[in-house]
Structures are given as structure tokens and as C-alpha cells.
Amino acid sequence: MGLFYFRTFVLIFIMVVGTGLSHGQSDEFSGLLKQLKGGYVQPVATLLGSLFNSGWYQSASVNRGFGFAIGLPISVAYISSADHTYTNREASGCAESRAMQTTIECPAPDYLEYEVPTIFGPQTNVQYKTYHLDTPGSPSGSVQSTPASSGYSEIRDYTTIPFLIPHLAFSWMHTEIKARYLYFPLDFIKLNGNVIGMGVQHDISWLAKNLPFSISAGTNVSLLSLAVGTEDFDGTMDLKGFVTNTSLLLGKQWGPFELFLESGWETSSLTASGTLVEKDNPDEVINPNIDVSGRNGFRLGLNVALHLGYHPVIGQNIGAQIGHQANLLFFKKEAK
């Protein structure tokens, strides 16, 4: 269990600091924070949606009587090819040249767009050319290196990210209320925070008699809150994540076995704020400012459940990223 917590939340932590936390790396740390862009960390926002929206449902039906459920769903998301690069946009300097109406035409558009690695990206050195006016008033070019252009070495080889969180639910009158909570005081890396989730599922198949399948609708919201610090800086960086999902569920049961399909729409966003002051140089103040949405959107899941009081569920999710879910430790008591 410690490996799941450590790997997932260290990833979120690394997403913001973008480099190692050992002493002697303050220059690299502060320099990267100043240049960090939303596209560089967008894969982490996407991961939040893929992981936090998984494992909310154990069936496509909810009975009329009172029910109670408790479990520990496990989610695994795969890092997709789209998570390795993003399109960066930089001013070329030619807009200023054209505004000066120089006699020599600047050989580039006002803005340059090019693919650069994300935090999961390959180790590359992406370069581009910008222009400035020299003394005679003619544009001349100079080569620039992109910020954060080589990914983060510690996680560059990751292909999967796991996550698990305690899950509690109560049901009555064909409606189930779900709740999740996880608190993680990881003081050894100066990280504290929590994940809170709430969801509701309502069975609408009871409205039509003798349906050959179960049908229900559900929605869930998850909130991430992290306070991050480092040994080299005073202050904290605050991370906020907001994840939603709305789904329609269709299921068919054969004895204790059920096959049910989830189809819906998910969103995910991540923001970073706060103030960090370098201990050895109090004039060095960093105010991280990241506000990025994940690539999340349409989501489809296929699940197999076993209903015997002990309710294991395994499933496959397809959306912005491919993932698996396994509610192997799930117990449910429900009246008809």
C-alpha cells in the first residue's frame, strides 16, 4: 500500500517542483519553476481524472431497500503517447520588427509553435529561433532552448500509475450515496493533503417494468488539496485538483454475475499557487502559477461484478488514457 501512495503522490509533487529535492539544486529548482507551463504538467491533470473517476460503481442497479457498502478500489492508468509531448507557443520577436517597419522582412510568423516534451517526455533538447532588431534596424536571429524540454528523469520511464482510496456507500429507494476520503501526511517529503470524493447513483430501470437489463445514472466529484514544501525554501505551494464524471450505466445479470457498461463524460483540472522564498537568498521569491485542464472527455468502461455479499469488480476503462480498476476488497449488504 505504501508503494501506491508514494508513487502516485510523489508524482504529483514532482509535477510542480520539476526537479530533485536534494540540497545544492536550488538554482535548477527555482529556474524551472519560473518557466513551468501548463502543457508541461497537463498529463498529471489528465491522470487525476483517469484515476479519481475509476471504481465508483459496483453494479448498474440499486435496490429499493437500505444498503451499505465498504471497499478499497484500486485504479491503474497507463501513460499514453499523447502524454509525452505538447505544443508550445512562443513569440518569435517578428511582431516587434514589423511594428518598426524595418526594410528587411522578418522571416518568421509572429508566434512559433513546436512540439516539446512534457514531464513524461523523452530526453530531447528542443531548440527554436527568435529574432531581435540589431543596430542597423534589421532583424537577426538567435537560437533559444525551450524551458522544461527534457521531461523529468525519475518518472520518464513510467508506463503506469496506480491509486487506491477507501470507499463508503449507503443506498435506499434506488439511490446510492457514495463517499471517499484519503489523508496523506508525507512529512518526509514535506507534503500534506487529502482527497475527498462524493458521488450519487440512481437506478431508473424501476420506472419501466420487465426490462431485460438494468439502467442507472451516476455522477461523482473529487477534490485534491496538497500543501507542498521543500528543504531549500520557506513557504508552501498549494495544489488544487477538481475532477468530475457523469455516466449512464447499463447492466445485465446472470445469477451472481453481472456485466455492466459505463459511458459518460469526465473533466479534470489542476491549479498551483502559493509563495516560496529561498532560504539562502531571501530576495528569490517564487510564486507558482499553473492552471491547466486535462485531456479528459468521453469515458467508456466495461466491468464484471460478482454479487455474493462479497462484491469484487474488475473493469477496463477507455478515455483520455486507458486504465484498469479492481474492487477486490468490496463488501456490500443490500435489502431488495
| Domain range list for the chain | 2-79+158-334, 85-145
pTM to 2 decimals?
0.80
**256-272 burial: b if 16+ Cβ within 10 Å, else e:** eebebbbebebbbbbbb
pLDDT digits (tens, 9 = 90+) for 80-136: 888 888 877 777 677 766 666 655 566 667 777 777 777 777 755 555 555 555 544
pLDDT digits (tens, 9 = 90+) for 307-322: 887 788 999 988 888 8
- Max mean pLDDT range (4-8, 246-250, 278-282, 317-321): 246-250
CA gap 31, 335 in Å, rounded: 59
CB 51 within 8 A of CB 323: yes
Annotation: CATH topology of 2-79+158-334: Lipocalin (2.40.128)
Dihedrals phi, psi of 178, to nearest 5 degrees? -120, 150
CB 38 within 8 A of CB 265: no
Q: What is the pLDDT of residue 265?
A: 97
CB 245 within 8 A of CB 56: yes
Binned at pLDDT 50, 70 and 90, residue 26 comes out as very low
Q: Going by C-beta distance under 8 Å and a sequence separation of 6 or more, which residues neighbour residue 162?
A: 3, 4, 7, 8, 74, 75, 76
- In terms of Cα–Cα distance, which of 292, 254, 252, 257 is closest to 272? 292
Please name the residue ranges forming H helices in 218-276. Answer: none
